[in-house]
Amino acid sequence: MATVTYDNATRLYPGTERPAVDSLNLHIEDGEFLVLVGPSGCGKSTSLRMLAGLEDVNAGRILIGDRDVTDVQPKDRDIAMVFQNYALYPHMTVADNMGFALKIAGKPKAEIRTRVEEAAKILDLSEYLDRKPKALSGGQRQRVAMGRAIVRQPQVFLMDEPLSNLDAKLRVQTRTQIASLQRRLGVTTVYVTHDQTEALTMGDRIAVLKDGLLQQVGTPRDMYDTPANVFVAGFIGSPAMNLGTFTLADGYAQLGSTKVAVPRAAISALGADDKNSITIGFRPEALDVVDAGSPDSIPVLVNIVEELGSDAFVYGELSDELGKAVAAQVHSGAGDGQVIVRVDPRQVPAKGEKIHVKIRTGEQHLFHAGSGERINA
């Protein structure tokens, strides 16, 4: 087991002007489960492949423990990788697939068998060791791919979207198994996913990437409670945070006839590039449904209600009484001029109904309108 360090690691593909990964600085502790997350094309898989030795590092360096592995061949880095594609040999049994890397390394047959049986026991695969991959379910095949990594007893596990090919129910079950397994083995793990729900539920820490740049690193709670910028705020959380850019007047952010009080310290922190505006984020659960006519309430026309049993979410558009120009200032995961509201699952409004909501005091997130960076006030 070992730490992993990206020291200003950069990857620039030939023929491109912008690096796929730009000066990545990231330290992963021994035994830590770190999740790299971000939208498609953000550089997360490239970062993982740089660590694996499958992509060149054009600037900076990468260390595993105290050892600089920037120019070390992949086979000599003491890592094991689990891919999105199971990549199992169809003509081999489960046992042979799991032990193949050890066989190539020249390990004794008895040691290979012992390691394979130990891994199979951990992964509940003992009864499938003599089967071929075609006789297994998707989840079982993914566990075989995990077993192949475990038997090598590497210093670092690398996982590149290993759950993407599984159905929704199996994905939830398998992510729980992977997180539990990693904690039991205590092996440093770098896990790549585009699914922020996976990131929040599995990682000790999360690193969010966008356009090759590291946006924020922290615990799932840090990401949820104190996003560093507008991008992280809108990316982390399901459903996504509502965000709006409002004009300031007399210490309030104005949304049509609605006013949201802004702390004096936040107003003092604004610069010239903010142009007397502020971006406010508010999560669906930070909105209270209030009576029509309540001061500073926001009118929302209900489009869709998602009823999830224990929860219910309203997806609606800002009412016409605010004006289209005002409505366009607010956006969410549902689109521009749309807001998402968490409501009492036993008192669900009907489609087409108008409800009024108000941001709960102290539960808004404040960002610079110009740069999108968080205002800590």
Domains 4-234 and 240-368 share a fold: no
| Structure confidence by residue, pLDDT tens digits, 266-278 | 999 999 999 999 9
Measured between alpha carbons, how far is 276 from 41 in angstroms, rounded to an integer? 34
pLDDT at 330: 82
Choose between 250 and 373: higher pLDDT: 373
Choose between 1 and 338: higher pLDDT: 338
Measured between alpha carbons, how far is 35 from 206 in angstroms, rounded to an integer? 5
Average pLDDT rounded to a whole number, residues 164-168: 79
Average pLDDT rounded to a whole number, residues 133-150: 89
pLDDT at 134: 92
Q: Confirm if 313 and 306 have CB atoms less than 8 A apart.
A: yes
Domain ranges of the chain: 4-234, 240-368
Average pLDDT rounded to a whole number, residues 301-321: 87
Q: Confirm if 357 and 348 have CB atoms less than 8 A apart.
A: no
Has residue 165 got a pLDDT over 80? no
Q: Which tokens hold the place of 48?
A: 């993982």
Measured between alpha carbons, how far is 74 from 51 in angstroms, rounded to an integer? 9
Q: Where are the alpha helices (DSSP H) in 40-161?
A: 44-52, 94-104, 109-122, 138-150
pLDDT at 377: 65
Mean pLDDT of the chain: 90
Q: Where are the alpha helices (DSSP H) in 90-137?
A: 94-104, 109-122
Has residue 323 got a pLDDT over 60? no
Which pLDDT band holds residue 253 (cuts at 50, 70, 90)?
Answer: confident
Range list of β-strands (E), 322-375: 330-332, 335-336, 338-343, 354-359, 365-368
| Structure confidence by residue, pLDDT tens digits, 179-189 | 888 888 899 99
Q: CATH 2.40.50.140: does it fit domain 240-368?
A: yes
| Structure confidence by residue, pLDDT tens digits, 343-374 | 999 999 999 999 999 988 888 999 999 999 99
Instruction: Please tell me the CATH code under which domain 4-234 is placed.
Output: 3.40.50.300
Measured between alpha carbons, how far is 204 from 199 in angstroms, rounded to an integer? 9
pLDDT at 318: 80
